[in-house]
Amino acid sequence: MDAALSDPDAALTALAALPLRDAALAFDWDSAGEGLDRLRRMMSRKGVDLETAALVFFQGAPERYNMIAKADLLPQAQARCNLLDSIHRRIACGFYLPDPERGLGQARGQMQSWIERQRLEGTAGRSGRWVFDTCLLDIQVTGPARPIIVQRPTEPAALESLWKRLSRMVRRDRQVKPACELES
């Protein structure tokens, strides 16, 4: 594994072999370079839970860039901040569901301190780049577990094409007269 840490390509290959949660948490933000796209793809999957997303967000060191305007970012920080923006948006809109058994788990303390810091900044008249809605997080963390929507099984007859069903409906409702009857 030491060879994988020194070679970025080998590190990305080693990450691909890990389960999604472990791979996302093992991602090294500081030597990422081109690997940010790989993390972006990992974080856009449906199987990522809220705890993992919050931990990955905080591993990206958002506090370093929270008070810097997007236009003032250095070019090497733009890709990182864009990914942090993406993860933040997904957390804020509820894309990442909490694990019913863990909720925010290990990220709870970091999230609470972040929200407390954002509250203090708000009272001082400042607002950072990444603001979490405390009500939304309270609902996600303390509320009942949301059921995961599963696609219900469909019968083979229900897989019939829409075009066939529509054409059958049209034929039933509208009787088409032969051309010879229309002329008379």
Q: Give the pLDDT confidence of 99-140 residue by residue, as tens digits.
A: 877 777 888 889 889 999 989 988 888 888 898 877 656 655
Instruction: State residue 136's pLDDT score.
Output: 55
> Is the distance from CB of 38 to CB of 83 less than 8 angstroms?
no
| Listed ranges 33-42, 51-60, 135-144; the one with the highest mean pLDDT | 51-60
Separation between Cα atoms, residue 35 and residue 28, nearest integer Å: 9
Between residues 178 and 171, the one the model is more confident about: 171
Q: Give the pLDDT confidence of 6-26 residue by residue, as tens digits.
A: 555 555 454 444 588 888 888
Cα angle, residue 22 at apex, residues 21 and 26 outer, rounded to 5°: 120
Band the pLDDT of 1: cuts 50, 70, 90. very low
Distance linking the first and last C-alpha atoms of the chain: 87
Does the reported pTM lie above 0.95?
A: no
